Amino acid sequence: MKLICYLSNGYPTISASETIAGYYATAGCDVIEIDLPARNPFLENDLIKSRMAEALKECDDYDKYMDNIRVIKRKYPNIKVLMVVYESTVKEIGVEKFIGFCLSNDIKDIIYVGLENEVIKNQMIQKGIQISCYVQFNMLDKEIESAKASNGFVYMQAVAAPGKINPKFPTLADCIKHLRNQGIDRPIYCGVGVSTPTDFKMVKDAKGDGAFVGSTILKLYNNPEALVETIKAFKAEDEEDN
């Protein structure tokens, strides 16, 4: 199963974030989820909001953030990269320029957020970029239908919010099985609530294809040794049964 670790692009500096990507690679991370810091990241938690703000104070040039992604992909070719980007950021960069960057650097998987409408999203899909879709644990019909219509991976909420469990699908395994029964054969990556190796194993046992780990890793930027050992601990849960 894929271990997907969030990387704050440009935090504390662009060069430092490239160095941290190297720690991820050394530790055995399978996929780096990297952002382009947004000026108004209204959907993020406070930790990521603050890091995006600090990054943009340090560097306000999106070309340099994209260059950093190019460097990371070149230096660590065995790690897949998927990108998190707000529509407002894509507009600032320029839609055609952003699409060209993704295609020329073989970045096909995008978590695309903060949409005003479907226009730019559909432009990206038409060019072959795969846009993820989010399904909450309470398995809303409209989100399931959106997942069926999507061309990207499914981002499945791993842990239910209080009182937000659909009695038809009480466990993560039930949710994933239902999505598969609906004909979804694209990867199902699970996140939100995955903070320990035990959580990671829970996703694996539920037949998820991968799990996102964010804050647990992000909080260790100042302790590279602990960061590497923590990533290894997550991967050990995957390798234990193999």
What are the residue ranges spanned by the domains of the chain? 2-131+195-239
What per-residue confidence (pLDDT) applies to 239? 76
Give the pLDDT band of residue 82 (cuts 50, 70, 90): very high
Chain mean pLDDT for the chain? 96
- DSSP letter at 10 equals T
What per-residue confidence (pLDDT) applies to 7? 98
Do 5 and 209 form a contact (C-beta atoms < 8 A)?
no
Average of pLDDT values for 186-215? Answer: 97
Average of pLDDT values for 54-60? Answer: 97
What per-residue confidence (pLDDT) applies to 117? 93
2-131+195-239: in CATH 2.20.25.90: no
Do 188 and 206 form a contact (C-beta atoms < 8 A)?
no
Look at residue 242 and tell me whether its pLDDT is greater than 80. no
What per-residue confidence (pLDDT) applies to 151? 96
Look at residue 240 and tell me whether its pLDDT is greater than 70. no
Look at residue 230 and tell me whether its pLDDT is greater than 80. yes
Average of pLDDT values for 210-233? Answer: 97
Pairwise pLDDT comparison (33 vs 240), residue with the higher score: 33
Look at residue 168 and tell me whether its pLDDT is greater than 60. yes
Residue-wise pLDDT for 130-156, tens only, equals 999 999 999 999 999 999 999 999 999
pTM: 0.96
Q: How far apart are CA 137 and CA 166, in angstroms?
A: 7
pLDDT-wise least confident of 9-13, 136-140, 152-156, 238-242: 238-242
Average of pLDDT values for 192-200? Answer: 96
What per-residue confidence (pLDDT) applies to 238? 82
Look at residue 32 and tell me whether its pLDDT is greater than 90. yes
Average of pLDDT values for 71-96? Answer: 97
- DSSP letter at 140 equals -
Write the CA distances from 230 to 24, 203, 236, integer angstroms.
Answer: 10, 17, 10
What per-residue confidence (pLDDT) applies to 139? 96
Burial class (CB in 10 A: 0-12, 13-18, 19+), 163: exposed
The set of residues, in sequence order, having a beta carbon less than 8 Å from that of 64 and lying 6+ positions away, is 10, 14
Look at residue 208 and tell me whether its pLDDT is greater than 90. yes
What per-residue confidence (pLDDT) applies to 241? 60
Q: In the chain, pLDDT over 90 holds for what percent of residues?
A: 96
